[in-house]
Amino acid sequence: MSVTAPPPIRPVPPGSTLPAARGHRPRRPRGTSLYAHGEPLVWLTGSALIVSVLMIVALLGLVLTMGLSTFWPQHVTEVTSLSGEHWMGEITDSERYVPDADMLSFLEPEVRASAEAALAASPDGRVRRRLFRTGNFDLSGSHFRWIDDYETAAEAQPEWAVVLERMAWGRFYGTPAAFLVDGDVVAEGPEASWAAFEREHEPSRARFDELREIEVFAVGDTHHRIEEARQALREVELTDGQDSDRYRAAQAEHDRVVAAAERDYATLDERRTALRAENDRYALRMATADGKTLDVTVADVVRGYPANQLGFVARVGVYLSRWWEFLWDRPREHNSEGGVFPAIFGTVIMTLIMSVLVVPFGVLAALYLREYAKQGWAVSAVRIAVNNLAGVPSIVFGVFGLGFFCYIVGGWIDESFYAANLPNPTFGKSGLLWASFTLALLTLPVVIVATEEALAAVPNSMREGSYACGATKWQTIRRIVLPRAAPGIMTGMILAIARGAGEVAPLMLVGAVKLVDKLPLDLRDWSGSLGPIPTGAMHLDRSFMHLGFHIFDLGFQSPNSEAAKPMVFTTTLLLIAIIVSLNLIAIWVRARLRRRFQGTHI
């Protein structure tokens, strides 16, 4: 029996270490610095990643929580104070605070004694107060009221506490007292009055939608026909003069169009008067908690519900109804209520136009710098300039867009093609087109840099192989370089979309407004029943609403800041959702391109 000798043991060179056994961590040799192994950097980079993720999760969590809970219907609480006052509303916030001694000295003796007792019983010397959305602005002059616990004698949730969301004056909180037709009471008491209101509410809103259709679209179309006829007559006057036969024919056509439009306007005005008169017949008399009454026209009520009688399914219905209105209707009450469809439409259209403008120019510029230009000091200077443009404040681009695009380019277009409309500018003012051009300039450096990096990542061996097969420079770029650089180009486009869609400062100068009467695209059926339906061409010269500017307006310029605060979070959530959706589409395209060419890289 032969025995195999073990392999000889090789001596270990001085200063080296033996390989670690499986499952055991190699021991750090003595005298070796801990920093040489990178272990502190592992903890540092890992901690930075965790902090970044936590910050993003906290931000998105706050926006999601506040945004998704905005439209959930709350119970209505009636509060009776120690002094005998009554308030009714929804609790929107609460906090604990330390009352000021001077403030307590002005309270009535009974209320001051209750406050002192509450302070004595509080372990931290603070008392609670709650913010009630009391509404009834046309009667009380305020939408919200802080109510301290120490001034509360009793509170309840009345069965027939009703919330009315109105077209104007905000929400109304009260109890149905009577239902009126032509000023006469036809039903009394909460139950009978509310039943009559529910019967008449849907027909009244249908008449209101028809009335708005006439006022917003039909009357606008009539005025537009008159304006087109006037411009046509003015163009003939500028070219041929008032003594020409062509001008006399145009004058006759102008008079015919104006006469027909005036007849149509008279018909529309008659129908509008009839609808208003019919809607004014029906009113719901509401009684407030403090004993006041107000007759609310049924057609002016967007939504009404007995808040304390709703079950879970009914609350979900109100919640979804509010979301539908938010997505498909127009703003009202200084943008603090209603919908944001004009802002959604303006944001999406502007972002798409900006992307269509910036990607071709950015890719062509990067192609020239990387593939065609002779490398030298001139190309280096251009690259430095492009990198510096990426750091220029966005408001500077807004000033440039206003001065160059609006005043210079737009003024030239008006003088050359729209002289008949002067002195009223057509393109010589802020509008959708110039806002898209301005943001395209703003995001152009991002696309150029990303495209250059993507082109540089394509191996030279692929170019050389293409040349060896007899391909030209352009054939190599078109069939070899660009397809493999497409994922990187899409990355630049994603970054451009994310930045351009969220910019606000330039838009304040070149197109975005607080509220618009007409969208850049002509629509019909804007009543919210079917959603807006496009029926006309795109008007790039019109101003538009933008979600970012809408958030700024709600947060800093709204006269009713507390009512606007929930809308800020909801609109922010919507803006994030739109940007994420656009980015996901671009990421999906990039992933398909990457899978298509990942097997051909050398």
Q: Is the peptide bond before 423 cis (omega within 30 degrees of 0)?
A: yes
End-to-end CA distance of the chain: 55
Closest of 536, 542, 550, 490 to residue 355, by C-alpha: 490
pLDDT per position as a tens digit, 106-148: 888 888 888 888 888 888 889 999 999 999 999 988 889 999 9
Mean pLDDT, the chain, integer: 86
Q: List C-alpha distances in Å: 357 to 364, 394, 436.
A: 12, 18, 8
Between strands 293-297 and 301-306, the pairing is unpaired
Domain ranges of the chain: 76-156, 172-307, 341-600
Q: What does the pLDDT look like over 148-181, one tens digit per residue?
A: 999 999 999 999 999 999 998 889 999 999 999 9
Q: Dihedrals φ, ψ of 290, to 5°?
A: -95, 15
How confident is the model at residue 299, as a pLDDT? 95
Per-residue model confidence as pLDDT tens digits over 202-213:
999 999 999 988
Phi, psi of 518 (to 5 degrees): -130, 140
**CATH architecture assigned to 341-600:** Orthogonal Bundle (1.10)
Q: What is the pTM of this model?
A: 0.83
Mean pLDDT over residues 531-540, rounded?
65
Question: For tokens 């996901």, what's the residue?
Answer: 584
